[in-house]
Amino acid sequence: MKAEIIAVGSELLLGEIANTNAQYLSEWLATCGIDVYYHTVVGDNRERMTDVIRRAQGRVDLLVITGGLGPTEDDLTKEVVAELLERSLQIDQPAYDRIEAFLKTRGRTMTNNEKKQALIIEGADVLTNNAGLAPGMSVHTSDHQYILLPGVPREMKRIIADHFDHLLGKETIKSRTLRFFGIGESALNDRLADLIRTARNPSVAPYAELAEVRLRLTAKALDEQTALEMLDRLERQIRDEVGTYFYGYGETSLPEVVLDDCRKAGLTLSAAESLTGGAFASGLTDIKGASDVFRGSAVVYSDVAKINVLGVAQTLLDQQTAVSREVAIAMAEGARALYQTDLAIALTGEAGPTSNSGQTVGTVYCALAQASGTEVLELTYPAFDRGMIRLRSVKDAYFMLIKNINHSDKRIQK
Amino acid sequence: MKAEIIAVGSELLLGEIANTNAQYLSEWLATCGIDVYYHTVVGDNRERMTDVIRRAQGRVDLLVITGGLGPTEDDLTKEVVAELLERSLQIDQPAYDRIEAFLKTRGRTMTNNEKKQALIIEGADVLTNNAGLAPGMSVHTSDHQYILLPGVPREMKRIIADHFDHLLGKETIKSRTLRFFGIGESALNDRLADLIRTARNPSVAPYAELAEVRLRLTAKALDEQTALEMLDRLERQIRDEVGTYFYGYGETSLPEVVLDDCRKAGLTLSAAESLTGGAFASGLTDIKGASDVFRGSAVVYSDVAKINVLGVAQTLLDQQTAVSREVAIAMAEGARALYQTDLAIALTGEAGPTSNSGQTVGTVYCALAQASGTEVLELTYPAFDRGMIRLRSVKDAYFMLIKNINHSDKRIQK
């Protein structure tokens, strides 16, 4: 099965936004074993849209079309596809009722344009939109399948998520994402080489993200229970091999896991940041509810600050420099006392581009202080990218916390 | 003149990366007054690439093709275009010499694949690549112009920047970006409505970014001097109208301007962050060289931390709550004393989703302490997005600093 992803919208052609929908949909289709051969972007223009869709009909089996389902005059996707298929447009009553109910909460009645959003192509399966007003739809003809989705990424993703199981056929498709930190994509691929090469159903696909790797496992079966059992088995095989790098599922992030694990263990947390300059704290406080675990961070970007705020001794800084194991320990213990927390992380290092401390650029010390004592991780990163050194350091600190709180590897939760 | 942007690369079709190049090129072409009618993505496949380029020849005048200029077997772009144009591929000696020199620094000699990168299409103008090894090229035929660029975004952007003036014709094209904060896109459009509607050369295009707006001014003239004078005149008109919201040019960011302005004025800076949890500090320390201005930030995410770290009085917290004008002042003055800086910013507020302080979600106090006294800005944001409230608060604090350091509006710098 070959697919083309068509995005409709002049804002894309003007460079106002990037076509991130195409990336998302490509990954989804790859997951389901469908080859994407083309992406196309076309403006809100009836003639050019017709031409683009006609060409796609000639070269692929599945057309996924995003955008142009809204209420404005420019929104032409449904009309163009209906005309090409010689089908009519009909009101979908549930969609109509949802629009009416929404407008009622605003004290308004429906205009003709707003009504347009409830129209679906004759014979289409409606894809309920739980994040907006315009539903998506799937249309089958003898030769092709057409999936029409809204252009707003949040709505498009929600529809895919809600209809993932059966959108592409009668089989149930279930997918699960495992997240790993501290192992590169190629090292993970080496460790799992046989599995990745031979796994067809369930399949395994690795995706590298910033200093992380996620594995997407996808199973097809006739019923949900079987698909989930297939995923469980494969997950167990993978975690037996590389479980030590595993930290969570799906869209979970490292700081979310840190906060959850601290919360479950009844532990409070603080930090002292030199190198990372507030990025460790910022990552945690981005997450709502962080304040029941996280008390704060002393960002100390100068020796004076390390001395005044954290009580690091001037003699220690003179003897060891700010980038040293000893200063990392003093910072972590200083933060733990100052913020009165169970755990405290300290990060100090040399991010470059040139070294102020005399230490090699890329050298980082991450200390973790707790009642039982303070331990230090010495990390060495390639020196070429200041931002990357800072980002990796923050993530290494989160991972050090997760490992410390859990001691043994986490169990399969499902 | 009509254009199509063609991106070559199977990694795009697998969803591994988004086609951000197309967005960048679309904005560039819009700036130059060229209409982009289509984006197309195709894999590294000779037959499908040939087909896609042939179709583009039939529907546009300018083909901008990214990707496939590298050294691997998969990199086919030059071969495919040369074959379609019935032209040969020839070694570009300067490009060849650069590759050889680069390999020499690695102690290696050139392989046949690496040599491929120095090939250009017969009769093409070479677009030197100062960020990588494979040059771009521009080919004119009687009906079309073809611009071939590397797929690596950094290299693609560098080539556009270095060849911006004359890549699309004999006229000189000069562009300038003005950055504004504190005014929404629609308000800015209203204030400049006549200018934006009537300006053709130079033209004005607004782009909304996260809580900011930038205006891109573009002038075409027969020589550089004239184009620059046209931009100066238009900039003056715009700044007469909305200069109070202006903060910088081009890719400059608010924290960069804060650091530059402090450096010029010989001022040091610190912060105390509740609401923003380290994001203010992190934005500044992302920039290299921040340490000569910025000493640190006390992230105080609990009352205990406000008391212990900054010396905020328990009675003040009890009487006024943590989200108050008075506590913001105490935090700023506490940070200024602790870090021994000329300036100190404090941020406290209610980011939600629910209110802990009793204050309405979206209420933020931003205090600026300096020798002459402490002033407070009370800000009110819509309550719907926690992340947006934090982000806007950080940017408002940067802007408050810039305005304070400069007092009067900044002069036109060129």
Convert the pLDDT of each residue in B213-264 to its tens digit.
999 999 999 899 999 999 999 999 999 999 999 999 998 999 999 999 999 9
Give the model's pLDDT for residue B109: 87
> If you measure CA to CA, which chain A residue comes closest to B284?
A277
Cβ distance of B37 and A285 shorter than 8 Å: no
At residue B319, the pLDDT reads 94
- Does B131 score more than 80 pLDDT? yes
Q: Which of B19, B297, B340 sits opposite A304 (nearest CB)?
A: B340
Q: Are B40 and B58 in contact (CB under 8 A)?
A: no
Residues A95 and A97: their CA atoms lie apart, in Å, by: 5
Among A22, A340, A386, select the one facing B304 at the smallest CB separation: A340
Compute how many other C-beta atoms are within 10 angstroms of the C-beta atom of residue A189: 18
H or E segment at B1?
A: none
The pLDDT, as a whole number, for residue A165 is 79
**Is pLDDT above 60 for B23?**
yes
Contact A37 B298 (CB under 8 A): no
**What domains does chain B contain, in order, with CATH numbers?**
2-163 (3.40.980.10), 172-249 (3.30.70.2860), 254-406 (3.90.950.20)
Residue with tokens 């809600």: A162
Query: For residue B343, is pLDDT > 90?
Result: yes
Q: Do B277 and A298 touch (CB under 8 A)?
A: no
Calculate mean pLDDT across residues B364-376: 97
Among B67-71, B161-165, B383-387, which range has the highest average pLDDT? B67-71
Rounded-to-integer distance, Cα A271 and Cα B5, Å: 48
Return the structure tokens found at B315.
Answer: 């009675």
Instruction: Provide the residue type at A288 as one letter.
Output: K
Residue to mutate among A8, A14, A203, A299, with most B CBs inside 10 A, is A299
Q: Give the three-class secondary structure for A375.
A: strand
Q: Which residue of B has its CA nearest to A21?
A: B18
pLDDT at A112: 86
Please, which residues have CB within 8 angstroms of residue B293's CB and are 6 or more apart in sequence? B259, B262, B263, B267, B268, B269, B284
Query: What are the DSSP calls for B89-120, one per residue?
Result: EEE-HHHHHHHHHHHHHTT----HHHHHTTEE
**What is the greatest pairwise CA distance in chain A?**
84
Instruction: Work out the minimum CA distance from B207 to partner chain A, whole angstroms.
Output: 7
Cβ atoms within 10 Å of A232's Cβ, excluding its own? 15
Q: Which pLDDT belongs to residue A33?
A: 85
Please, what is the average pLDDT of chain B? 93
Give strand ranges (E) for B182-276. Answer: 203-209, 212-221, 246-249, 269-273
- Report yes or no: A275 and A390 within 8 Å, Cβ to Cβ: yes
| Beta carbons of A295 and B301 less than 8 Å apart | yes
From the list B411, B403, B410, B23, the residue with the least C-alpha distance to B207 is: B23
B356 to A207: CB separation less than 8 angstroms, yes or no: no
Chain A partners within 8 Å of B299 (Cβ)? 271, 278, 281, 285, 296-299
**ipTM value greater than 0.90:** no
Write the CB contacts of A365 (distance below 8 Å, at least 6 apart in sequence). Answer: A323, A324, A325, A327, A328, A346, A347, A348, A349, A376, A377, A378, A379
Interchain contact, A296 vs B302, CB within 8 Å = yes
In this complex, do A309 and B339 lie within 8 Å of one another by their Cβ atoms?
yes
- CB–CB contact B286 A277 (8 Å): yes
Q: Which residue of A has its CA nearest to B351?
A: A288
- Could you say which DSSP state residue A171 is in? S
Instruction: For residue B15, give the nearest of A24, A291, A295 by CB distance.
Output: A24
B207, closest residue in chain A (CA to CA): A16
Cβ <8 Å between B19 and A19: yes
Distance CA B301, CA A295 (A): 5
Contacts 24+ apart (CB under 8 A), B99-102: B99/B133, B102/B133
Beta-carbon separation of B23 and A25 below 8 A: no
pLDDT for the residue numbered A412: 43
Query: Exposed (0-12), middle (13-18) or buried (19+): which is A62, by Cβ within 10 Å?
Result: buried
How far CA B398 is from CA of B256, B258, B308, B346, B403, in Å, comes to: 9, 6, 26, 11, 9
Report the gap between the CA of B116 and the closest CA in chain A (Å): 26
Secondary element (H or E) of residue A2: strand A2-8
- With tokens 């399969």, the residue in question is A412
Distance from CA of A92 to the nearest CA of B (A): 30
Judge residue A35's burial from the number of C-beta atoms within 10 Å of its C-beta, 0-12 exposed, 13-18 middle, 19 or more buried. middle
Residues in B closer than 8 angstroms to A20, CB to CB, are 18
Residue A356, min C-alpha distance to chain B (Å):
11
Question: Hey, are the CB atoms on B14 and A27 less than 8 Å from each other?
Answer: yes
pLDDT exceeds 90 at position B410: no
Range of A118-132, B100-114, B198-212, B346-360 with top mean pLDDT: A118-132
Q: Please, are residues B261 and B406 in contact by the beta-carbon 8 Å criterion?
A: yes
Can the peptide bond before residue A202 be classed as cis, meaning omega within 30 degrees of 0?
A: yes
Q: Cα–Cα distance between B376 and B382 in angstroms, integer?
A: 20
What is the nearest CA distance from A88 to chain B, expressed in angstroms?
28
Say whether A22 and B41 touch across the interface (CB within 8 A). yes
Q: Strand, helix or coil at A205?
A: strand
Q: Which residue in A194, A180, A172, A176 sits closest to A235, CA to CA?
A: A176
Q: Which of A35, A214, A282 to mutate to test the interface with B (most CBs of B within 10 A)?
A: A282
CB contact under 8 A, B295 and A276: no
What average pLDDT score do residues B142-165 get?
A: 94
Single-letter residue type at B384: F
Rg (CA), chain B: 26
Q: Which of A137-146, B192-201, B277-286, B301-310 has the lowest average pLDDT?
A: B192-201
The shortest CB-CB distance from A13 to any of B39, B43, B353 is to: B39
Q: Do B18 and A18 touch (CB under 8 A)?
A: yes
Please list the ranges in chain A whose pLDDT falls under 70: 408-414
C-alpha distance from A173 to closest chain B C-alpha (Å): 18
DSSP strand pairing (A119-121 vs A62-66): unpaired
Judge: B285–A279 Cβ closer than 8 Å, yes or no. yes
